Chain A
Amino acid sequence: MDKVTNTKISRAFSKAARWQIIITVLISCVSLLAAGMNAAISAIAGGASVIVGGFAGMMMARRPNGGTPGAILFSMLKAEVIRVLVIAMLLLVAFRYYPGLFPLSLIGGLAGSALASGAGLRTVNNENDD
């Protein structure tokens, strides 16, 4: 995979991650005001699991492949599998080993962060306009 493609994927991910962090912090602040410290930590745990999973997926997607469409697609699917597995494992750890977990806040942080990952699309579109 060439350097330009790697840079594009990294830039798209970093833009998406920025929005994910902003939204997670916002949900965490709302949870802190509404239900206390445990709820805020739960929201951060939910958002962080999506961000860490996305990072793991990006590292997998950046690995060199054959350059043919089929190889690229296979590499992307592998990256997605890694992403989903990492997110599921982190959620499992949070549910299993955090006694003061506030489930609704965790789901809120998770949902906000997962839906905000589409923000990186805007970066890719802007780069195409240039």
Chain B
Amino acid sequence: MGNTVQYLAMVQSYTIIGISLIIGLGAVAACIGISLMCCSFLNGAARQPELIPTLQGKVFLLMGLIDAPFIIGVGLAMMFAFANPLLAVIK
């Protein structure tokens, strides 16, 4: 009984660290990607202002693509937070 509680606490604490890493590293990567793309957008808009409407649509879509891994990571983190499959091994 005592060992089980200890294992449960250990799994939960490591899960919290894993969730933090998933969300934190994903957010950092998405921020780097979006900042690089915004930099390129500003460069392109300064060089050829007539292309701004075309570039705007691409920026909107590419932001979604760059954020996709982060959103998937958020979904995985929620799975570990609300329905942790690792706890089933101990129970």
B28 to chain A, nearest CB (A): 14
Residues of B within 8 A of A4 (CB): 53
Interface on chain B toward A: helix, strand, loop, or mixed SS? helix
Q: Which residues of B contact A54 (CB under 8 A)?
A: 64
CB within 8 Å of A: which of B58-85? 58-65, 67-68, 70-72, 74-76, 78-79, 81-83, 85
A interface residues, how many (CB within 8 angstroms): 44
**A87 & B45 in contact (Cβ 8 Å cutoff):** no
Contact flags A71-101 to B (C-beta < 8 A → 1, else 0): 0110011011001100110011001100001
Give chain A interface residues in 42-85, CB to chain B under 8 Å: 46, 50, 54, 57-58, 61, 69-70, 72-73, 76-77, 79-80, 83-84
What per-residue 1/0 map shows which CB atoms of A15-42 lie under 8 Å from chain B? 0100000000000000000000000000
A–B pairs, 13, beta carbons within 8 Å = A69-B45, A76-B56, A76-B63, A91-B74, A91-B75, A92-B78, A106-B79, A107-B72, A114-B68, A114-B71, A118-B64, A118-B65, A121-B65
Interface set of B (CB-CB < 8 Å, partner A): 34, 38, 41-42, 45-46, 49, 52-54, 56-65, 67-68, 70-72, 74-76, 78-79, 81-83, 85
